[in-house]
């Protein structure tokens, strides 16, 4: 049997816009019979639990960027692969997978060793683009963005020995994301990916202080800290899955609103919405609320 992603999640929103190449069927499922019945109390938990079981399967892995960290056995290789793969996880899935393949091929057998060498090789000049940003890895993520993250990750390991230790040193997940962002920037000597005269931060690493949902960073944390496989890797033992927040994007937000888990009167998919939705999901499973990311992902497929 061929395992297909829900049609409404073949694309993933990214840093430039809320959606890329989104082709949704023109149905108002929010007022459908199924959705109406689900809003009647506890049945929604059962529905989400079923979708979680149907989506959290080994067949999902080859269709998702999570396949790339799954290729490695060493903890530090996995950590590096998780954050790099999650960073470019926006847009069309087939293109994300091709871009990840390109990026990890450049890094050789060990992403961690590549990062820690610090003497990053130049990519072929024939593949460089005008403007000095270098090789295009994925959409607006170029060679200079890639090397910026590599230098930043190298600084993270120099200071904390592991990315898990970095996040554990912060009082909560949001503060951990802020610390990660600051440490990445510090590893670039105050220079941004694009120019030494601009602020030292990359648009590819979201800031909680700006009210961002930090979707791709929360996705990376889900991959690393959730203990229940087979999709998530669960190699971090010092951060409880109960402390994680939902990776919120346009599609998860839409599903949550159709199911009455987010208010339709507020359409922003931002930090406030992440906190609100995660609290609702904690009522269903306090020890592992973000497992329902799988369920919201699979909602469209179940509704057909």
Is the per-residue pLDDT at 22 higher than 60? no
d(CA 235, CA 176): 17
Is the per-residue pLDDT at 28 higher than 60? no
Q: What is the mean pLDDT of the chain?
A: 83
pLDDT at 119: 75
Identify which has the larger pLDDT, 197 or 69: 69
pLDDT at 188: 87
Instruction: Answer positive or negative: Cα dihedral of 96, 102, 108, 114.
Output: negative
Residue whose pair of structure tokens reads 């030494």 in the numeric block: 196
**Using an 8 Å Cβ cutoff, are 217 and 206 in contact?**
yes
- Provide the CB-side half-sphere exposure for 229 (13 A, CA): 11
Instruction: Give the range among 15-29, 199-213, 253-267 with minimum mean pLDDT.
Output: 15-29
E-assigned strands of the chain?
11-12, 91-92, 136-138, 141-142
Residue whose pair of structure tokens reads 């170029």 in the numeric block: 142
| Mean pLDDT to the nearest integer, 269-283 | 97
pLDDT at 139: 77
Torsion of CA 185, 73, 216, 153, to 10 degrees: 0
d(CA 295, CA 54): 8
Question: pLDDT confidence of 16, banded at 50, 70, 90?
Answer: very low
Identify which has the larger pLDDT, 124 or 20: 124
pLDDT at 140: 82
Burial pattern 223-258, b for ≥16 Cβ within 10 A else e, equals: bbbbeeeebbbbbbeebebeebbbbbbbbbbbbbbb
Question: pLDDT confidence of 259, banded at 50, 70, 90?
Answer: very high
pLDDT in tens, 115-124: 999 877 665 5
pLDDT in tens, 171-181: 999 999 999 99
Identify which has the larger pLDDT, 82 or 186: 82
pLDDT in tens, 122-165: 655 545 554 556 678 887 888 888 999 999 999 999 999 999 99
Is the per-residue pLDDT at 49 higher than 90? yes
d(CA 119, CA 212): 33
Strand partners, 92: 11
């Amino acid at each position: 049997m061929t395992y297909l992603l829900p049609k409404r999640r073949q694309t993933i929103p990214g840093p430039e816009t809320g959606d890329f190449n989104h082709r949704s069927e023109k149905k108002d499922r929010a007022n459908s019979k199924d959705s109406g019945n689900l809003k009647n109390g506890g049945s929604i938990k059962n529905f989400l639990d079923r979708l979680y079981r149907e989506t959290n399967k080994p067949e999902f892995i080859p269709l998702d960027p999570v396949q790339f960290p799954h290729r490695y056995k060493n903890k530090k290789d996995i950590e590096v692969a998780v954050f790099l793969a999650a960073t470019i996880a926006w847009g069309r899935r087939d293109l994300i997978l091709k871009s990840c393949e390109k990026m990890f091929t450049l890094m050789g057998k060990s992403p961690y060793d590549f990062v820690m060498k610090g003497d990053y090789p130049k990519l072929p000049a024939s593949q460089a683009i005008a403007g000095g940003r270098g090789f295009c890895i994925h959409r607006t993520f170029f060679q200079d963005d890639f090397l910026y993250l590599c230098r930043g990750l190298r600084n993270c390991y120099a200071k904390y020995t592991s990315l898990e230790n970095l996040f554990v040193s912060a009082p909560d997940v949001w503060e951990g994301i802020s610390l990660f962002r600051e440490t990445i920037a510090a590893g670039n000597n105050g220079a941004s990916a694009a120019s030494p005269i601009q602020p030292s931060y990359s648009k590819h690493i979201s800031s909680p202080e700006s009210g961002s949902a930090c979707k791709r960073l929360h996705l990376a944390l889900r991959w690393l800290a959730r203990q229940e496989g087979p999709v998530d890797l669960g190699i971090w033992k010092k951060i409880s899955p109960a402390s994680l927040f939902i990776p919120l994007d346009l599609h998860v937000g839409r599903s949550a609103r159709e199911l009455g888990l987010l208010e339709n009167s507020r359409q922003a998919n931002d930090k406030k919405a992440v906190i609100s939705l995660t609290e609702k999901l904690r009522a269903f499973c306090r020890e592992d609320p973000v497992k329902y990311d799988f369920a919201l992902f699979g909602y469209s497929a179940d509704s057909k």
